[in-house]
Chain A
Amino acid sequence: MLGNLGTNLKDALKKLAGKTVIDRVAVEELVKDLQRALLQADVNVKQVMQLSQTIKKRSLEEEPPKGVTAREHVLKIVYEELVHLVGGKVDVQLGRQTILMAGLQGSGKTTTTAKIARYFKKKGLRVGVICADTFRPGAYTQIKTLCDRVQVNCFGNPKETDARKIVAEGLQHLKDEVIIVDTQGRHALEDELIQEIIDLNEMTHATHRWLVLDAALGQQAREQARRFHEAVQIDGVIITKMDGTAKGGGALSAVSETGAGIVFVGAGETVEDLEWFDPDSFISRLLGMGDLKALAEKVQESIQEEDIDVNAMLSGKFTLRDMYKQLEAVNKMGPLKQVLSMLPLGGMEVPDGAIDVTSTKMERYRIIMDSMTNIEMDDPTVLNGSRVQRIAMGAGATLEEVRELIKYYKMMKRTFKNLKGGEKGMQRLMKKFGRFS
């Protein structure tokens, strides 16, 4: 989310490096960069102007605490204001509840409904979904197919045209702990449909009313969110389609408009692609402060027995075997870029070449590595011409592919080594932040 905001901010913050007095020109430049980045990310124009004014004012007026450099001081202000913009943390309770899904047409409600159903199911709850979309043809087939895939109950009737009736029947029919009601897409200017969702909200006594918003949504997000909020009191926002290039700034306007935080972020087409959203971690990552907590959680969650030793990797002891495990874990852990973004790298850039290896290539690499011996895996330096030839034959790969793999390995190793170097300064900074917050 918010995309290159991070890069822009890091560049701007660099200008403040080493300064003890806060420089008005530098602050103004920072604010300008921030404005530009936020506007490009579709954050509401008025909000951007307000935010940049506040940051400017605070940076110039507030006295930095003793021992804090100008850069750290401004960074802290930017951090706080951005956390404010992104909204509070929403805890997802695991218990009996009814969730009403609301949103515009095509925002991804149905897909998200299935994702949330899967989320609760994975947490050990019984889940039932009611399909209250009586308008769009194929809507019931869609949700039914998805529900079958994640094995949760699904109630609906493609022949019935009254959503209220379906929901009433569904509530009687389903006895699950978590009931999710998927509704028809509507926008705030359609009075009849707004009335319908008000009725559905009353009928279901919904515990939560979550607004699903497309990450690409522009300035209109604020207005739409306001009307939805007026109608059913939205208490959570879900941003979808974050796997595209959209920055999700529009959805942030919805957050400030409703006062509800972001609950989940959807970032893919399959039912697994749903992430719980933590504003603090998100902004930390954005500012290059790293998010070791999330990384630790992620590592624990996805790779228990394989156990990748992150510390060993950082200390430069990185063998092909580590890389093999990493490739295996990549599928579970999400792309390497995301994992790296959780490390406190400061402004350091990781070479794109290290990241832009597509998943198919990863798969090829794994196959090639399957043809290597244990000795080769533990000590890649033994690889010579004849070994490379044997590996290529064994894996059904070309010599070039094997050599490319070795090159990739070397690059990874170098990258991890560099990570360690960049760590120290950031750690100090992080400690400071710990003190602030």
Chain B
Amino acid sequence: MFKALKEKLFSVRQRLETTISEQPADDGVASSTQETPEPVVPQASQPQPATVTPVAHDDEGTKEKKVPGFAQKVVSLVRDREFIISEKDIEESLSDLEIGLLESDVAFSATDAILTKVREDLTGSKRKIGTSVDSVITNALSDALLSVLGEGVNILDFIASREKPVKILFTGVNGTGKTTSVAKVANYLTKNGLTVAIGAGDTFRAGAIEQIDVHGERLGLKVIQHQEGSDPSAVLFDTVQYAKAHNVDVVLGDTAGRFHNRVNLMNQLAKIRRVIQPDLIVYVDEAVAGNDAVIRAEEFAKSVGMDAVMLTKVDMDPKGGAAISIAHAVGKPLIFIGVGQGYDDIVPFEPKAIVADLLAGEA
């Protein structure tokens, strides 16, 4: 995942580094050769996502974010042995980064937000000459990415912390892979020692009930189903009742795919929510989705709510920009990614690890 993005980030970083490290030499005064009083690499040099950006560190004294004049640069260099990064220095690299993000399918609005953040963090920030250039940029980028990707969630801990049966509802638009994801998650949970029952809540699409039924059979799980066209709330209610009666740990509720602009269908989902009171609503979307990912995620979050996101078909589009778009739009953690057609093709998602990996050295 994120491979293309990683390559892009790496090249952008390199360019940013060259533009930035050339800076003091251009000004011609007190170049870094003379003096390195501070220990080299004073701040976190390795990509530690949690660290604050350097701006926060150096905000003693004047914190002018305006375009720094030449004199100011000199003063800053001589007195503080720092130099100021101006917007101009990084503009080209940033527009490169923008294209990179867009090409990785990060939605337009999310790209905008990330760029603004990196720009804010970098421009006008003063950097002590001895500081590793790498850390300034890495921190700015990882901070920006982390702020959109949010904290991870451990599903097993979550389930352990809730009263049994823990009800998990899957929602999303058509064709993102909800039913397959339900089967995969069921398999994942079973492997981790939990008992699972599935509710065949997609009563609309022809063949959907058969599909989940076959999955249940293969995985040896109970699938509660009604006829095609019946009320999904009733199916899922029955599933919860079954789980209570049989002491099942987790209930997974499948639902029919629906578009967020269909008021009636969204109301139906709201009804399901009222009836079964899910502990966790998982919104399923696909990695190949472009800008629409943001719009629909927002709509789903608004009308039926969502607690977590699962991204499917990552094997199809390993760039993973949709993850960033959705996370940016709704600020909900990504719990799983689907990476293939088999039951085991599911990976828990850890934003910190991903971002660290994304920014670590060469691609």
Chain A residues near B (Cβ < 8 Å): 36, 39-42, 45, 104-108, 110, 135-143, 145-146, 187, 189, 214-221, 224, 241, 243-247, 249-250, 269, 358, 360
Using a CB-CB cutoff of 8 Å, which residues 81-124 of chain B contact chain A? Answer: 99, 102-105, 107-108
A187:B315 contact, CB within 8 angstroms: yes
A142 to B316, CA, bound (A): 24
A104:B173 contact, CB within 8 angstroms: no
In-complex Cβ contact of A220 among B176, B295, B319 (8 A): B319
The answer to whether residues A219 and B290 also contact, given A105-B177, A145-B207, A241-B259 and a CB cut-off of 8 A, is yes
A142 to B210, CA, bound (A): 9
What is the chain B residue whose CB lies nearest that of A219? Answer: B105
In-complex Cβ contact of A39 among B108, B206, B264 (8 A): B108
Contact-residue size bin, chain B (C-beta under 8 Å from the other chain): 35 or more
* Proximity string of chain B (255-298) to chain A, C-beta cutoff 8 Å, 1 when within and 0 when not: 00001110110000000000000000000001111111101100
The answer to whether residues A45 and B99 also contact, given A135-B341, A218-B105 and a CB cut-off of 8 A, is yes
A139 to B180, CA, bound (A): 13
B176:A106 contact, CB within 8 angstroms: yes
What is the chain A residue whose CB lies nearest that of B265? Answer: A269
Query: B residues within 8 A CB of A40?
Result: 107-108, 291
B317:A220 contact, CB within 8 angstroms: yes
A137:B214 contact, CB within 8 angstroms: yes
What is the chain A residue whose CB lies nearest that of B287? Answer: A220
Say whether B322 faces chain A, with CB atoms less than 8 Å apart.
Answer: yes
What is the chain B residue whose CB lies nearest that of A139? Answer: B207
Query: B residues within 8 A CB of A358?
Result: 263
In-complex Cβ contact of B315 among A45, A189, A243 (8 A): A189
B296:A217 contact, CB within 8 angstroms: no
A241:B173 contact, CB within 8 angstroms: yes
B261:A219 contact, CB within 8 angstroms: no
A224 to B319, CA, bound (A): 13
A224:B292 contact, CB within 8 angstroms: no
Provide a sorted-by-A list of 12 A–B residue pairs whose CB atoms are within 8 angstroms.
A104-B288, A104-B316, A108-B175, A135-B341, A137-B213, A189-B315, A214-B286, A218-B290, A219-B103, A220-B105, A220-B317, A360-B264
Chain B residues near A (Cβ < 8 Å): 99, 102-105, 107-108, 173-177, 204-215, 228, 259-261, 263-264, 286-293, 295-296, 299, 313, 315-317, 319, 321-322, 341
B207:A106 contact, CB within 8 angstroms: no
The answer to whether residues A269 and B174 also contact, given A40-B291, A217-B289 and a CB cut-off of 8 A, is yes
What is the chain A residue whose CB lies nearest that of B228? Answer: A145
B207:A219 contact, CB within 8 angstroms: no
A245:B214 contact, CB within 8 angstroms: no
A108 to B215, CA, bound (A): 20
A217 to B290, CA, bound (A): 5
Q: In the complex, given contacts A216-B288, A218-B291, what are 16 additional A-B residue pairs having Cβ atoms less than 8 angstroms apart?
A: A39-B291, A42-B292, A45-B99, A137-B211, A137-B214, A138-B209, A138-B212, A138-B214, A218-B289, A220-B105, A224-B316, A241-B175, A245-B261, A246-B291, A246-B295, A358-B263
Query: B residues within 8 A CB of A108?
Result: 174-175
Query: A residues within 8 A CB of B103?
Result: 45, 219
In-complex Cβ contact of B290 among A42, A136, A241, A243 (8 A): A42
Residue with the highest number of chain A CB atoms closer than 10 Å, among B105, B206, B261, B341:
B206
Query: A residues within 8 A CB of B205?
Result: 142
A214 to B214, CA, bound (A): 26
A246:B292 contact, CB within 8 angstroms: yes
A110 to B174, CA, bound (A): 12
A220:B206 contact, CB within 8 angstroms: no
A219 to B209, CA, bound (A): 33
A336 to B296, CA, bound (A): 24
A218 to B323, CA, bound (A): 13
B296:A245 contact, CB within 8 angstroms: yes
A218 to B299, CA, bound (A): 19
Query: B residues within 8 A CB of A136?
Result: 211
Query: A residues within 8 A CB of B290?
Result: 42, 216-219, 246, 249-250
A244:B291 contact, CB within 8 angstroms: no
In-complex Cβ contact of A138 among B207, B289, B317 (8 A): B207
B108:A141 contact, CB within 8 angstroms: no
A214:B288 contact, CB within 8 angstroms: yes
What is the chain B residue whose CB lies nearest that of A137? Answer: B214
B102:A45 contact, CB within 8 angstroms: yes
Residue with the highest number of chain A CB atoms closer than 10 Å, among B176, B177, B213, B317:
B317
Query: B residues within 8 A CB of A246?
Result: 289-292, 295
In-complex Cβ contact of A145 among B99, B206, B263, B322 (8 A): B206
B289:A187 contact, CB within 8 angstroms: no
A25 to B163, CA, bound (A): 63
The answer to whether residues A218 and B288 also contact, given A36-B108, A45-B102, A106-B175 and a CB cut-off of 8 A, is yes
Query: A residues within 8 A CB of B228?
Result: 145
Query: B residues within 8 A CB of A135?
Result: 341
What is the chain A residue whose CB lies nearest that of B317? Answer: A220
B208:A219 contact, CB within 8 angstroms: no
Query: A residues within 8 A CB of B204?
Result: 269
A136 to B205, CA, bound (A): 14
A187:B316 contact, CB within 8 angstroms: yes
A145 to B108, CA, bound (A): 40
What is the chain B residue whose CB lies nearest that of A218? Answer: B290
5 closest pairs, A vs B, by CB? A218-B290, A142-B207, A138-B211, A106-B175, A137-B214
In-complex Cβ contact of A244 among B105, B173, B319 (8 A): B173
Distance (whole angstroms) from the CB of B272 to the closest CB of chain A: 18
A105 to B316, CA, bound (A): 9
What is the chain B residue whose CB lies nearest that of A49? Answer: B99
A106:B177 contact, CB within 8 angstroms: yes
A207 to B210, CA, bound (A): 32
B321:A218 contact, CB within 8 angstroms: yes
What is the chain B residue whose CB lies nearest that of A106? Answer: B175
